[in-house]
Amino acid sequence: MIHIAALLKAKLLIVDDQAAKVLLLERLLRSAGYSDISSTQNPTEVVGLHRQNRYDLILLDLNMPQMDGFQVMEGLQGIGPEGTLPVLVITAQPNEKLRALKLGALDFISKPFDIAEVLARVQNLLQVRLLNLETQKLYEQVLIEQDLSERLLHKVLPQAIAERLKGRSKLTADHLNQAIVDSYANVTVLFADIVGFTAFSQVVSPEVMVDVLNDIFTRFDLIAEQWGLEKIKTIGDCYMAAAGLPVEVPDHADRAAHMSLDMLVAIQDFNASSQHPLNIRIGMSTGAAVAGVIGKSKFLYDLWGDVVNTASRMESHGTAGRIHMSDATRQALTQPFSFEHCGVIEVKGKGAMSTWFLNRRALN
């Protein structure tokens, strides 16, 4: 229910070619407490006045020279999103009432009008109209907040996973809290670590440290988007991404290789414009994995499996400024690249492994 004080602040317009009727209605409404009242005896002005002032209610006489009330209502069509016209028609002809309602008028007052009827109809119409407008604003606010929530959800989770979570919104809480877990036969996982970042963070302010991380990781985000990799997470100064999930693709290893090469270029570009030159070490591996969203709060899309551990070892056993990858990734590549065999090395937790450096894209 709209409070009476809000109703009395409504913007009203009286339209009648007879000055005496305009004056009578205006005095009647002011005596009831309405203060924002305008009037015109020229019906051709109504559309322009409403477009400029957006009245809450227009008391409109139907029988006027130059332009009758029906023509005025036709001109008012399309002003504002409300659908119905904020018009209370005044007429002495019963057959005109139905036509006025079909054109969008809210209600009518019969001539000669009764004072109590005028005040009652004005108050009732304003009550309904202002309540509808308030409801519309609340609905629009809900839509804005829903859109923001969906955009945030898509920022946090892969689009395919976000859509699956949204699809659960109509289910029970038990369904909503069920984990989303998918298995993948082959994905390529990439880890990139900023070399010497711990020492760097000790000689700069926290603000500079965060700005540098944000700059570098934003560059990596753009590269991931370009090559179709899914950023999994950042852990301190380590960046993790994967190709081939949540939507499976056959060229996941190629995509990861292209991204890793572009990441080396990105760090060079960063150094060219930064007072704090840095380097990165990249590791990659290919294999089976399980990915999904678990838990009941602070949803995070994550990845599990031996391939994750192996990719992390490729990074930690690698060399600054180079891309170190497992033999599984080399074998999964389908596009021409230039490699350098590292031989068989001892990898912590994995034992002896044949690994490779990815040098560059090779020409056909």
148: tokens are 């923001």
What is the per-residue pLDDT for 172? Answer: 47
174 a catalytic residue: no
Look at residue 338 in the predicted model and tell me its pLDDT: 93
Q: What is the predicted pLDDT for the residue at 203?
A: 87
Question: Which one is catalytic: 58, 194, 232, 282?
Answer: 194
For 217-265, give the DSSP string.
HHHHHHHHHHHTPEEEEEETTEEEEEES-SS--TTHHHHHHHHHHHHHH
Catalytic position from the list 16, 193, 251, 254: 193
pTM for the structure as a whole: 0.59
CA-closest candidate to residue 260, choices 350, 212, 188: 188
Nearest in space to 106 (alpha carbons), one of 133, 138, 139: 133
pLDDT tens sequence for the chain (364 residues): 556 777 788 889 999 989 988 898 899 888 888 889 999 999 999 999 999 998 888 899 988 888 888 898 888 888 866 556 788 888 878 778 888 888 878 888 888 778 888 888 888 887 877 766 666 676 667 666 666 656 655 556 666 666 666 655 554 445 545 667 889 999 999 999 999 888 888 888 989 999 999 999 999 999 999 999 999 898 889 999 999 998 899 999 999 999 999 999 999 999 998 888 899 999 999 999 998 877 666 677 788 999 999 999 999 999 999 999 999 999 999 999 999 999 888 888 788 899 999 999 986 5
Q: Is 193 a catalytic residue?
A: yes
The domains located in the chain, with CATH, are 4-139 (3.40.50.2300), 171-361 (3.30.70.1230)
Per the annotation, the verdict on 215 as an active-site residue is no
- Order of all β-strands in the sheet with 87-91: 37-40, 12-15, 57-61, 87-91, 107-110
Q: Which of 16, 56, 237, 251 is catalytic?
A: 237
- Residue among 2, 12, 4 nearest 118 (CA): 12
